[in-house]
Structure 1
Amino acid sequence: MKINKYNSFVFALLVGLGLSAQAQTKQWTLEEAVRYALDHNITIKLSELDVKNADIDKKDAFGNYLPSVNGNASHSWNIGLNQDVTTGLLRNQTTQYSSLGVSAGVDIYKGLQNQNAYRRAKLSVVASKYQLLKMQEDISLNVANAFLEILAFKENVKVRKEQLLIDEKRLARSEEMVKAGTIPRGDLFDLKATVATDQQAIVVAENNLLISKLSLAQLLQLKEFADFDVIDDTDAKDENNIMAQSPVDIYNKAKETRTELKLAQANLEIAEKNVAIAKGAYQPTLSAFYNFNTRASYSDVIGGSTPNIANPTSQIGFVEGTNQAVLQNNFLPVLRNADPVFDQFNDNKGHSFGFQLSVPIFNGFSVRNNVERNKVSLEKSKIDLEQKSLDLQRNVYTAFTDAKGALNTYESSTVTLEARQQSYNYAKEKYDVGLMNSFDFTQAQTLLTNAQSDVIRAKYDYMFKIKILEFYFGIPIVPIPTK
């Protein structure tokens, strides 16, 4: 009874571990891989941040239309030699002052620089979105390439393992035939070398598969690249009948849809706005301003006067001719505490406002040089747009030629494989009845394996070339969401 319980527990544990291992292995389709990369790829996330920066720059440009308002406040202590308000003399004392102020300014006319800067900022947002879209398209193609590479290497591993299984069976059969004296021992050595070569080929194929998984995992930002796998949901068929289109039709369609042309056009318009902004510096600027300020002191102030009893009068001169002294009454100031701070702020208010006109006359050719510099950038943008158009035309024709060549290669390699399979079957029949030696049979088998590998390589190369051609025709692997 105890043994049965133990066996049941072990069985349940093994089943649980098996289900856990299956649950951890994610089987990815091509569309799932592309969608996941569009959401998680680091390069795409950086491009999305560039779009946010462009939006912030647009807000900055709009802010140039608005007035600037700034407030200021200060409180100071003057310690040491200061003027005494009662005597007018300098003496060591400590005084305190507070001041408040508000200033505002607004551009009325600035050579249309603010307007052009805002238009440029909006174009920069568009350009950054095109750049993001181009990055998403590039990542989609890279994911497709890496995905198809994994499928190709998986097929190659499968072929190599099947080849090893066949050779191991041949080796076991040959060992029995050597013991029976039917075939020479030398044939056995050849087969052992063949099996070892097969095992080495499997190691190389599995390493290539692991590296291809790593490449796709990096595009998807996955950490556990060894524990995921892909599903072959692809088909080596031209489902969208893209090969029926002519290169001219594909190129004309690409001119309407390709992101690199739209991005180059947006950069050209940005360069035009930069020239307009630079030219705006030739014109005068007119701005308006307003300032408000007030202050308060914490020192005693003179609140009145009283006669100087100790020295009631003092001579200030004499009458010409009689030399009679001219006297004045002497008074002493009467100090009192400073008024309340808020009363002083109210009594000491001051306002100033007006307009400011600035006319550029000579600035060391800086404005002119800046205009010329932006004109050069404009010409470069025009050339870049033209070059992008030429590159697109060349890429479309190259992609069409590559796809056509890949299709021909795939078809011819398929025919070759069929012929190699028939040749191998014939060689096997001869080998089984002793009419062919082991070396010649191994050669036929190697040719078959190479033909199988050529078909696998040609198949997935053709599929990727079709994906590229579809991209130029405006057919993405998956619809790219706009954010």
Structure 2
Amino acid sequence: MKFKILVIAIFAGVSVFAQETEEKKVWTLEECVRYAEENNLTIQQVELDLENAKIDKSDAIGSFIPDLNASLRASGNSGLTIDPTTNNFTNTNIFTASGDVTSTLTLFDGLRNFHRLNRAKLNAIATQYQADDIRDDIRLAVANAYLQILSNRETLKVLKAQYRATQQDLDRTVELVDNGVLPKGDLLEIQATAANQEQQIVNAENNILISRISLAQLLQISDYENFDVVDEGYVIPDDAVLSVSSDEIFQKALTFRNDIKASNANVELAQKDLEIAKGARYPSLDAFINYNTRYSDQNRDPITGDLIGFKDQLWIYDGISYGAQISIPVLNGFNVKNNIKRNQINVERAKLQLKQDKLDLETDVNQAYVDVKGSFKSYEAAGKTVEARRLAYDYAKERYNVGLMNSFDFSQAQARLDDAEATLVRTKYDFIFRLKVLKFYYGIPLEEW
């Protein structure tokens, strides 16, 4: 399923270190999931994208507000130049200064400013859906790793119980050999079985350690020795979701799955981009107002001949200009036309992606549904096999104790029972996890798993 493909990429981003050096920290499934959600780097990156979306929205709102800009300029010239206060040529050293304040406002731009604002809002929603979809994948991945630890623990319990039974058989065989009832070769066979079970126990303990390390690595917890999980004692649930059809689950998943919501939002985003592109075909109308003033050290009073003061010149030579400007697109090298076509293609591409995402979801739901049914049948069959193997083992043990069965055949009966019990544990947790996946598609929260 898709979430299995995403697991490596998603958890490469989790990077907060937790160490419990004084005592072992025991985690529940809910704590593991919450920790991963809070510290996943991919989610943190998406949250930064959300901040960017807020900035984009602020930019879009700003397009409705008049801008205001000021400028100041001072310069010195020698030789022939124009005095800005008189617009006359002068051939001398001159110092001039000028300043202006300008405000412009877009009155109409083909409604592109409205479409940009709506697009910014949609983009924030789509980004939130993406973050939520990543959290969904995290929940599944953590649950799978968590259950693997519990499965390995239960396997170890089974192996230890089998080893205790073998030790009892070994003690009984020693007595039978000492009494001459059984040959010494039978004792060697039982001892070999016990040694093999000891090896299996060591392997099972290693598997528990490896699975604990795997979950800790998903959470980027470096103190493996002090990391452990609560043995919540999962049992086979009698769940109502098993009575729901796969089509019902799929139809419900369409209403809340974040990847479908994000795909829908991407279609709307593409449509907004198309509307923005179409807006470039229309004329744009802008209004402006400008205040300006200037100063020259050559500007003198015509009566007294005295230099007019800096402040006085700023008031004398100031002025205001205002007006409106319309820009009409006529020919622009087909840029507007081609940009519209590109965005039309993007809309169709987004719609096709939405259809594909729905098909993928339907496939995933059907696969999960079939997996649950199949894994439950495997679990039931494994249970029946264990019962049959245990009866066969008990019968073989009775025959072996009275010398009617050799040690090799008895060891084979023991091995078949061991395999059956290990298969029962594996199929149990396989069914539990696949059931959780189906609940996930049915919208049942983690807290109710």
TM-score (norm 1): 0.79
Cα offset, 1:301, TM superposition: 4.8
In the alignment, the residues of structure 1 paired with residue 161 and residue 79 of structure 2 have an alpha-carbon distance, to the nearest angstrom, of 102
Alpha-carbon contact 1:42-1:221 (below 8 Å) kept: no
Aligned match for 1:453, one of 412, 422, 426: 422
Partner of 2:334: 365
Query: Residues 98 and 208 (structure 1 numbering): CA distance in 2 closer, same or farther, change over 3 Å?
Result: farther
Aligned match for 1:406, one of 371, 375, 387: 375
What's the secondary structure of 2:447's corresponding residue? Answer: coil
Residues 1:133 and 2:132 aligned together: yes
Query: Residues 164 and 73 (structure 1 numbering): CA distance in 2 closer, same or farther, change over 3 Å?
Result: farther
In the alignment, the residues of structure 2 paired with residue 234 and residue 448 of structure 1 have an alpha-carbon distance, to the nearest angstrom, of 23
Residues 1:374 and 2:313 aligned together: no
Partner of 1:478: 447
Q: Deviations over 1:148-192 (max 9, x none)?
A: 111111222333344445556656776787777765554555455
Query: Residues 423 and 273 (structure 1 numbering): CA distance in 2 closer, same or farther, change over 3 Å?
Result: same
Task: Single out whichever of 155-164 and 450-459 deviates more from structure 2.
Answer: 155-164
Query: Residues 73 and 247 (structure 1 numbering): CA distance in 2 closer, same or farther, change over 3 Å?
Result: same
- Name the aligned partner's letter for residue 381 of structure 1: A
What's the secondary structure of 1:370's corresponding residue? Answer: helix
Alpha-carbon contact 1:268-1:378 (below 8 Å) kept: yes
Cα offset, 1:101, TM superposition: 2.1
Query: Residues 355 and 164 (structure 1 numbering): CA distance in 2 closer, same or farther, change over 3 Å?
Result: same
- Name the aligned partner's letter for residue 417 of structure 1: V
Residues 1:53 and 2:52 aligned together: yes
Cα offset, 1:207, TM superposition: 3.3
Cα offset, 1:371, TM superposition: 0.6
Alpha-carbon contact 2:53-2:124 (below 8 Å) kept: yes
Partner of 1:74: 73
Alpha-carbon contact 2:301-2:308 (below 8 Å) kept: no
Query: Residues 116 and 207 (structure 1 numbering): CA distance in 2 closer, same or farther, change over 3 Å?
Result: same
- Name the aligned partner's letter for residue 277 of structure 1: I
Aligned residues: 425
In the alignment, the residues of structure 2 paired with residue 424 and residue 373 of structure 1 have an alpha-carbon distance, to the nearest angstrom, of 72
Residues 1:415 and 2:384 aligned together: yes
Query: Residues 421 and 288 (structure 1 numbering): CA distance in 2 closer, same or farther, change over 3 Å?
Result: same
Partner of 2:144: 145
Query: Residues 83 and 242 (structure 1 numbering): CA distance in 2 closer, same or farther, change over 3 Å?
Result: closer
- Equivalent positions of 1:181-330 (< 5 A) are 184=183, 186-187=185-186, 189-191=188-190, 193-233=192-232, 235-297=234-296, 299=297, 301-303=299-301
Residue segments in structure 2 that go unaligned for 5+ positions in a row:
1-19
Query: Residues 286 and 174 (structure 1 numbering): CA distance in 2 closer, same or farther, change over 3 Å?
Result: same
In the alignment, the residues of structure 2 paired with residue 432 and residue 75 of structure 1 have an alpha-carbon distance, to the nearest angstrom, of 113
Cα offset, 1:367, TM superposition: 0.8
Cα offset, 1:374, TM superposition: 0.6
Cα offset, 1:355, TM superposition: 1.0
Alpha-carbon contact 2:68-2:104 (below 8 Å) kept: yes
In the alignment, the residues of structure 1 paired with residue 386 and residue 440 of structure 2 have an alpha-carbon distance, to the nearest angstrom, of 31
Alpha-carbon contact 1:148-1:464 (below 8 Å) kept: yes
Query: Residues 62 and 302 (structure 1 numbering): CA distance in 2 closer, same or farther, change over 3 Å?
Result: closer
Cα offset, 1:47, TM superposition: 2.4
In the alignment, the residues of structure 1 paired with residue 309 and residue 191 of structure 2 have an alpha-carbon distance, to the nearest angstrom, of 109
Query: Residues 305 and 52 (structure 1 numbering): CA distance in 2 closer, same or farther, change over 3 Å?
Result: closer
Query: Residues 224 and 98 (structure 1 numbering): CA distance in 2 closer, same or farther, change over 3 Å?
Result: farther
The alignment's C-alpha RMSD in Å is 3.0
Query: Residues 355 and 303 (structure 1 numbering): CA distance in 2 closer, same or farther, change over 3 Å?
Result: closer
In the alignment, the residues of structure 1 paired with residue 175 and residue 308 of structure 2 have an alpha-carbon distance, to the nearest angstrom, of 122
Cα offset, 1:358, TM superposition: 0.7
Partner of 1:390: 359
Alpha-carbon contact 1:238-1:466 (below 8 Å) kept: no
- Name the aligned partner's letter for residue 278 of structure 1: A
Cα offset, 1:237, TM superposition: 3.5
What's the secondary structure of 2:225's corresponding residue? Answer: helix
In the alignment, the residues of structure 1 paired with residue 143 and residue 189 of structure 2 have an alpha-carbon distance, to the nearest angstrom, of 41
In the alignment, the residues of structure 2 paired with residue 233 and residue 469 of structure 1 have an alpha-carbon distance, to the nearest angstrom, of 20
Cα offset, 1:231, TM superposition: 1.9
Q: Deviations over 1:347-393 (max 9, x none)?
A: 33232221111111111111111111111111111111222222222
Alpha-carbon contact 2:21-2:226 (below 8 Å) kept: no
In the alignment, the residues of structure 1 paired with residue 45 and residue 34 of structure 2 have an alpha-carbon distance, to the nearest angstrom, of 17
In the alignment, the residues of structure 1 paired with residue 195 and residue 66 of structure 2 have an alpha-carbon distance, to the nearest angstrom, of 82
What's the secondary structure of 2:360's corresponding residue? Answer: helix
Task: Single out whichever of 269-278 and 434-443 deviates more from structure 2.
Answer: 434-443
In the alignment, the residues of structure 1 paired with residue 321 and residue 90 of structure 2 have an alpha-carbon distance, to the nearest angstrom, of 33
Residues 1:353 and 2:322 aligned together: yes
Instruction: Report the structure number with the largest CA radius of gyration.
Output: 1
Residues 1:44 and 2:43 aligned together: yes
Q: Deviations over 1:317-376 (max 9, x none)?
A: xxxxxxxxxxxxxxxxx6x5x544333322332322211111111111111111111111
Among all aligned residue pairs of Structure 1 and Structure 2, give the percentage whose two residues are the same amino acid. Answer: 42
Residues 1:110 and 2:79 aligned together: no
In the alignment, the residues of structure 2 paired with residue 350 and residue 173 of structure 1 have an alpha-carbon distance, to the nearest angstrom, of 115
In the alignment, the residues of structure 2 paired with residue 97 and residue 145 of structure 1 have an alpha-carbon distance, to the nearest angstrom, of 77
The structure where strand makes up a greater share of residues is 1
Q: Deviations over 1:82-112 (max 9, x none)?
A: 6699x97756x5x544332222111111011
In the alignment, the residues of structure 2 paired with residue 84 and residue 241 of structure 1 have an alpha-carbon distance, to the nearest angstrom, of 91
- Name the aligned partner's letter for residue 376 of structure 2: L
What's the secondary structure of 2:216's corresponding residue? Answer: helix
- Name the aligned partner's letter for residue 353 of structure 1: Y
